[in-house]
A and B are shown apart, each in its own frame.
Chain A
Amino acid sequence: MLTGQRTWTFANKPVIISTGTVGGPFEAEGNIAEDFDLLHPDLYMEQDSFEKAHKVLLEKAAQQAIDKAGITKDQIQFFLAGDLINQITPTSFSAKTLGTPYLGLFGACSTSMAGLALSAFLVNASGANYVLTGASSHNAAVEKQFRYPTEYGGQKPPTAQWTVTGAGTALLSNSGQGPVVTSATIGKVIDMGLNDPFNMGGAMAPAAVDTIEAHLNDLNLEPSHYDLIITGDLGNIGRQISLDLFKKNGTNIHDENYVDCGLTIYSKDQHVNAGASGAGCSAVVTYGHFLNRMNRGELNRILVVATGALLSPLTTQQKESIPCIAHAVAIESGGETTK
């Protein structure tokens, strides 16, 4: 149901009955390695190219979610997912393997929550019994497309972020046990004229602020309603900027309840400059780490705000600024939902 300007509330409480998270070797050395279902020791994942490895990531994450839910592939009505590679081929190729009806999404690093919002909407409106959603990224495949060859020696500035190798999926259903999706706010494209592709946190911060404030306004909520407000990949610069923007706007969001997936996944001594990024970042950290914490009873209500920079290498070279977007999804610890 539409509430306010651009927020959906889900009265039928779609349940996240299972999740699947897969990571690479660098993620295995990080802070939340134990929250992954599967960690690949090799960036190639037994494939002969990074793009093929990227596809395998998502396939395995999808399989994990399906296996954990104890259903079969054919019971899934729709698969909604995306990634960062041109024409989202890794996702479409995984959809071929999966064989379920599929809608490809592109929202750069906001794809995870775009997918979760749409999936919840579908399930809530009785459009499906089971929907699988997810997002993925592969460090080397994404670097190749957006930056330089993997082995090229270019010095990255302290504002740069590290693309996560990982895929996270969530399986939603109209009944079952698990965290429930209660509302979602769809973001607007916000472009404040920043054009440094090595400082995406700074470019994305206003989009995150806009969506979070719209969400709170639409539902008439105080930020303290949520145990945690979790942003996708603002990194330390974007996070600080957004906190200062909240302060300026008089929105009551504080340091201790405001976390970033991009600052959660890696440990301090992994030298990733401003933090992690990538479509897989918010997906693996939310579906792995934060939902695990919710299932352990540490968290009751969270708002996940995945942020995306909608640029391409071409627009950067043509001196265009970076348009950004953020989608917010509220998740609550559920108990049992019945049909």
Chain B
Amino acid sequence: MTSNKQTNQDYQQFAKQRETKRPVFKNCIRAFLIGGLICAFGQLISTFYIHFFHFTEQNVGNPTVATLIFITMLLTGFGAYDKLAQFAGAGSAVPVTGFGNAVIAAAIEHRTEGFVLGVGGNMFKLAGSVILFGVFSAFVIALIKTLLIQWGVI
């Protein structure tokens, strides 16, 4: 058994040496540029809403996010977002558009299984854990802040 384990480990090392590595540095640069561009575009939308629709900096977030997600929906539906993502990596996954893409792609994919069990049941298959852990960590942080305020630390 031990010798078997040894052979396996030897092979894993053998295979690892021959694996094409992810181009991490190139991926970081691309993610930085595309991610930055998406955010700059978001800023542009915000500014547009503030100027022409009398939003303030406090409440312009919602319509901006809605607009970005709407654009993502079109890009996902027309099959362009996954191609962008192969290039941009984290650059298109981290902004809100990545979250939108995860929900929309799952909704499209499971449409053939019906609206309730298909779309409804699978829409948050990928994004569900983002919501769960996002809400939970927000709760924990809020709790810490409340306690610190109560104790007069901040």
Contact = CB atoms under 8 A, between A and B. Distances in A.
Interface in B67-94: 76-77, 79, 81-82, 84-86, 88-90, 92-93
Contact of A155 (B9, B86, B105, B109): B86
Interface stretch (A71-79, A142-150, A163-171, A224-232): A142-150
Interface in A163-200: 192-194, 199
Contact of B20 (A154, A192, A194, A274): A274
Interface in B96-154: 98, 101-102, 104-106, 108-110, 112, 126
Sorting the interface of chain B by its residue count into under 10, 10 to 19, 20 to 34 or 35 or more gives: 35 or more
Contacts of B21: 158
A144 B85 CA distance: 17
A192 B19 CA distance: 15
B152 to A, nearest CB: 46
6 contacts: A154-B82, A155-B88, A202-B19, A240-B18, A241-B15, A244-B18
A237 interface: yes
A199 B12 CA distance: 12
Contacts of A194: 11-12, 15
Given A48-B112, A193-B11, A193-B12, A155 B85 contact: yes
Sorting the interface of chain A by its residue count into under 10, 10 to 19, 20 to 34 or 35 or more gives: 20 to 34
A244 B16 CA distance: 13
B25 interface: no
A192 to B, nearest CB: 4
B8 A193 contact: yes
The 5 closest A-B pairs by CB, nearest first: A153-B85, A149-B109, A49-B112, A152-B105, A149-B105
B108 A237 contact: no
Interface of B: 7-9, 11-12, 14-15, 18-23, 27, 76-77, 79, 81-82, 84-86, 88-90, 92-93, 98, 101-102, 104-106, 108-110, 112, 126
A151 B105 contact: yes
B20 A155 contact: no
Instruction: Point out which of B8, B79, B82, B84 has the most chain A C-beta atoms below 10 A from its C-beta.
Output: B82
